[in-house]
Amino acid sequence: MSPTEEQRPDGEPQKRKAFGTGYELWIGLAVGFYVIYAVTDLVTRMIRSEVAVTVDFSDGSASSLDAGNGAVSLSELTEIVVPTADVSAGAVVLVTIAEVTLILTVLAAAISLVPVIRDIAAGTPFTPRASRAFAAFEWIVAIGWILHFITKVPGGNWISADIGIADEVEPGITVVHAFFVLGVVGGAELLRRCFRSGREAQEELEGLV
């Protein structure tokens, strides 16, 4: 029997359910709801021939856009939805790639942590596959963030220029977002090293016994 295999009270191996239980199920539901929401929002905008871009009025002074008979004041981080006919096709492609990359990164990162959750639920967290899962999680988040950054920033700047607000805004990705991603990757690396140290300590203890 493998270290992560669960047993019934009579000693027979317990079959794992297809969608998992406990932590796996709840985390899967949370990620699933996000993916469904994000994909639905993206597809809806594509059907309506619209594109959304987040910009930052970081200087603290509000700006305004013409809206019918009046004007709309904009300040700080603001998401703007514009018709695709009013912006360049290249900008739409870049922003769409950025959104798809973010969705796939969240989904892949969640899937990469499934072995960790299963090992913890089975009572054997310090396994080699848990350490490998943390390493995979770090690479997925890092690569996904880089791809998201190099597509969203140029795409957002392009759209800002097309609608005439490029001089008043900065990219929607701020330093706070960068530090958040660094914190996630750094936290995963810290946990990976902790799990590796725990496995080494467990092996030494088993050797003494």
pLDDT tens profile 39-68: 999 999 999 999 988 887 765 555 665 555
**Helices (H), strands (E): how many in the chain?**
5, 5
pLDDT at 4 over 80: no
Half-sphere exposure of 72 (CA within 13 A, CB side): 8
Element spanning 99, H or E: helix 89-112
Is 158 contained in some domain? Answer: yes
12 found inside a domain: no
pLDDT surpasses 70 at 209: no
Q: Is residue 3 part of a domain?
A: no
Tell whether 8 is covered by a domain: no
For 92, the domain range is 23-55+81-208
Token pair 């406990």 in the structure block, residue: 22
| 65 falls within a domain | no
The answer to whether residue 35 is domain-embedded is yes
Question: 87: Cβ–Cβ under 8 A, 6 or more apart, which residues?
Answer: 51, 158, 159, 162, 163
Average pLDDT, the chain: 80
Q: Is residue 129 part of a domain?
A: yes
Q: Does 151 map to a domain?
A: yes
Asked whether the predicted pLDDT for residue 168 surpasses 60, the reply is yes
- Least confident residue range of 14-18, 44-48, 85-89, 188-192: 14-18
Task: List the single range of 53-62, 67-76, 105-114 with lowest mean pLDDT.
Answer: 67-76
CA 101, 104, 106, 108 torsion: positive or negative?
negative
| Alpha-carbon 42 to chain mean position | 16
Which pTM was predicted?
Answer: 0.76
Q: Count structural domains, the chain.
A: 1
Q: Distance between CA 187 and CA 181 in Å, rounded?
A: 10
From the CA atom positions of the chain, what is the Rg in Å? 23
